[in-house]
Amino acid sequence: MSRYVGVDGCSGGWFVVAYDPERGIVEHALFDGFAAVVDAFPTADRLLVDMPIGLPETGRRACDEAARERLGSRASTVFFAPCRAVLDAPDHETASAVNREHTGYGLSIQAWHLVPRIREVDAVVRSSAQAGTRVIEAHPELCFAALGEGPIAASKSTTAGREARLDRLRPIVGAEAVYETCLDAYLRRDVARDDVLDAVVLAVSAARPLDRVPPVTDENVPRDGVGLPMEIRFPGERVHGENETSGS
């Protein structure tokens, strides 16, 4: 079983790329639910997912603010996580009002569409201590930025943007073959080109020492009302297996 897993929400459910750097193996799969993803990889060291985990009670998460600042012109790719109370909202209008009451800001329709997925992840990471430690929040654009010379300006929806991201993956994994194999295996209505790129970069990032925004120690990571970390992780500068001095 692959030790490192990247998970991206997609139209068809949850698209997964699993990576074993020692054997050079890359696997991929599409799952209906997030619980099925975690169950399918019981021995994986890390599962990096592009979805908020720790949710604020009030205000905005410091990690969202820091991630947006770090990404510069690509800041809009980071959605502000909704407050935890939004998970109980029945519709967008209610959710936006609840979020404004707790944080001072309404909730965009794009963020509202993520709420069912946030609920899924929340249920899984709160179901067991093991799941809570293995499932880690990350952001693909932060990962791509960390694997090269900063953020990629071109959107990943463009040919130039996709090529730039593949360039950052090529020194690590056979990115072209993996990308084309995944595109051939799934319908675009289920798994988009962007989903493949995001899942691949999350998987290879999971195999590296991870830093976080903001850059705080493990002991000082902010936690939400149910104890989940409010952090976004991305690969540090050292390759996996080197002496780690930053966050694990």
CA distances from 131 to 43, 83, 124, 127, 173 (A): 11, 22, 7, 7, 27
**What's the pLDDT at 241?**
36
Helix ranges restricted to H, 23-91: 34-40, 62-71
How far apart (Å, rounded) are the C-alpha atoms in residues 60 and 81? 7
How far apart (Å, rounded) are the C-alpha atoms in residues 161 and 172? 18
**What's the pLDDT at 243?**
34
* The model's pTM: 0.93
First-to-last C-alpha distance (Å) of the chain: 21
Domain ranges of the chain: 4-235
**What's the pLDDT at 1?**
58
Q: How far is CA 206 from the centre of its chain?
A: 10
20, with CB counted inside 10 A (0-12, 13-18, 19+), is middle
Averages of pLDDT over each 10 residues, the chain, 248 residues:
90 96 89 97 96 97 97 94 97 98 95 96 94 96 96 95 96 93 96 97 96 93 97 76 37
**What's the pLDDT at 25?**
80
**What's the pLDDT at 144?**
97
**What's the pLDDT at 163?**
96
**What's the pLDDT at 11?**
96
**What's the pLDDT at 246?**
36
